[in-house]
């Protein structure tokens, strides 16, 4: 909380009250003589204007408010409220690759080269590991990060929420186990960033390495419910209000030993936790599950398959895409998976499948397969 005091003689008594209340640090005060408010654009969540003697500048207040931020203004002996609307040219990023279709292209028209620093948060340096997912919704950023000191040998993986306008940490959930850097710095399962989704006032995440999907309150971090049918979720997506999780009971060691158990796509209503349908498959390649509000598609190592999003009923299958699949404990960092007609599954590499308009595109083994999203041909 930042107080702006217009009367120089009143400033020190206000600061003394803050110190006496033990609130210094969270609350501070400064002299303000106007007219420009001393904040960056879109940085303030709440403006409380109590000085009825001074007419507030509505344009200046709108400038400093974050989208969906609120101003309470004292006029004529009463308070009136104003909420800044969400800008039409600002988009959200709900999944690791924009949305459930997997097509990592935003509709945002305001983003561009950085021109100034909006805010800065710790850590400035960490242990060199990567961030496991970063998504946004309703002016909040959600990410999974090991933010321990760079000299520490103990990771501190956490799901963290920050205000996108000012960087204030809203909450954090420590993750007791997380394989975001399994195999060394910056080397982890490629699909780890597909375990975090944000939509509206909810966040969806797995809160451990082998765990079901949990639904959290985006503002407070409170766990609303756990979707038990999704354990252990390897990755998941949210499309048209339906959460679809890829449940993989096999470890990498199991697959190398040929001890494969069926993988499952499980569709759940996240509002109630009710399982809607379940689809078993011998194999579902990582990072190939996508949905467009009508169907869920995935690659089973040979063909692309489509299921109805609401019922799980088969819709279509594509012809064989023509690649073979091999497993490796490590990939060549200079050319991971860059072998013609060979999909290499390694800790930091996996193929890609997206839905765009009326086509489904699958990239793997240095080739691109594109089929109709309606009939799979």
Q: Which residues span the domain enclosing 68?
A: 2-83
Structure tokens at 45: 């969540």
Range name among 6-15, 70-79, 138-147, 278-287 with the lowest pLDDT average? 70-79
Q: Are 163 and 268 part of one and the same domain?
A: yes
CA 120 to chain centre: 19
Task: Give the CATH number of the domain where residue 21 resides.
Answer: 3.40.50.150
3-state SS, residue 61: helix
Q: Are 173 and 295 part of one and the same domain?
A: yes
Query: How big is the CA angle at 282 (ends 276 and 287), to the nearest 5 degrees?
Result: 75
Q: Are 69 and 160 part of one and the same domain?
A: no
- Domain assignment of residue 323, yes or no: no
Query: How big is the CA angle at 372 (ends 370 and 377), to the nearest 5 degrees?
Result: 85
Half-sphere exposure of 292 (CA within 13 A, CB side): 17
Tally of domains in the chain: 2
The string of pLDDT tens digits covering residues 145-200 is 888 877 777 788 899 999 999 999 999 999 988 876 555 555 567 888 999 999 99
Q: Are 61 and 161 part of one and the same domain?
A: no
Q: Are 74 and 170 part of one and the same domain?
A: no
- Domain assignment of residue 345, yes or no: no
Write the CA distances from 195 to 184, 281, 286, 318, integer angstroms: 20, 20, 12, 27
The string of pLDDT tens digits covering residues 51-86 is 877 788 899 999 999 999 999 998 878 889 999 999
- Tell me the pLDDT of the chain averaged across its residues: 90
Q: Which of 18, 52, 83 is the last residue of a domain?
A: 83
Q: Are 219 and 75 part of one and the same domain?
A: no
Q: Are 193 and 288 part of one and the same domain?
A: yes
Give residue 306's pLDDT. Answer: 98
Q: Are 224 and 138 part of one and the same domain?
A: yes
- Domain assignment of residue 203, yes or no: yes
- Domain assignment of residue 342, yes or no: no
Cβ pair 132, 196 in contact under 8 A: yes
């Amino acid at each position: 909380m930042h107080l702006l005091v217009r009367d120089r003689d009143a400033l020190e008594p206000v600061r003394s009250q803050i110190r006496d209340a033990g609130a210094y640090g969270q609350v501070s005060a400064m002299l303000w003589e106007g007219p420009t408010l001393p904040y960056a654009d879109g940085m303030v969540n709440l403006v409380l204007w109590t000085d009825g003697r001074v007419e507030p500048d509505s344009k200046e207040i709108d400038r400093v408010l974050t989208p969906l931020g609120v101003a309470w203004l004292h006029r004529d002996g009463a308070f009136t409220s104003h909420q800044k609307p969400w800008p039409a040219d600002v988009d959200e990023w709900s999944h690791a690759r924009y949305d459930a279709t997997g097509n990592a292209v935003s509709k945002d028209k305001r983003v561009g080269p950085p021109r100034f620093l909006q805010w800065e948060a710790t850590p400035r340096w960490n242990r060199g590991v990567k961030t496991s997912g970063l998504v946004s919704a309703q002016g909040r950023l959600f990410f999974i990060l090991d933010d321990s000191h760079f000299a520490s040998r103990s990771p501190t993986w956490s799901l963290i929420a920050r205000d996108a306008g000012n960087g204030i940490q809203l909450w954090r959930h420590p993750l007791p186990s997380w394989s975001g850097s399994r195999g060394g710095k910056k080397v982890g399962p490629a699909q780890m960033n597909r375990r975090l989704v944000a939509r509206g006032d909810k966040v969806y995440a797995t809160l451990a390495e082998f765990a079901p999907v949990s639904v959290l309150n985006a503002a407070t971090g409170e766990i609303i419910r756990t979707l038990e049918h999704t354990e252990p979720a390897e990755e998941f997506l949210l499309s048209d209000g339906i959460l679809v999780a890829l449940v993989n009971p096999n470890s990498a060691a199991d697959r190398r030993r040929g001890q494969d158990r069926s993988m499952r796509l499980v569709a759940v209503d996240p509002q109630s936790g009710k399982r809607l349908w379940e689809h078993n498959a011998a194999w579902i390649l990582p990072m190939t599950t996508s949905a467009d509000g009508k169907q869920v598609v995935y690659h089973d190592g040979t063909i692309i398959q489509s299921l109805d999003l609401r019922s799980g009923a088969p819709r279509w299958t594509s012809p064989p895409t023509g690649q073979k699949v091999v497993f490796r404990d490590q990939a060549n960092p200079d050319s991971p998976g860059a072998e013609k007609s060979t999909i290499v599954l390694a800790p930091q590499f996996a193929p890609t499948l997206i839905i765009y308009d009326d086509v489904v595109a699958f990239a793997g083994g240095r080739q691109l397969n594109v089929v109709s999203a309606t009939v799979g041909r």
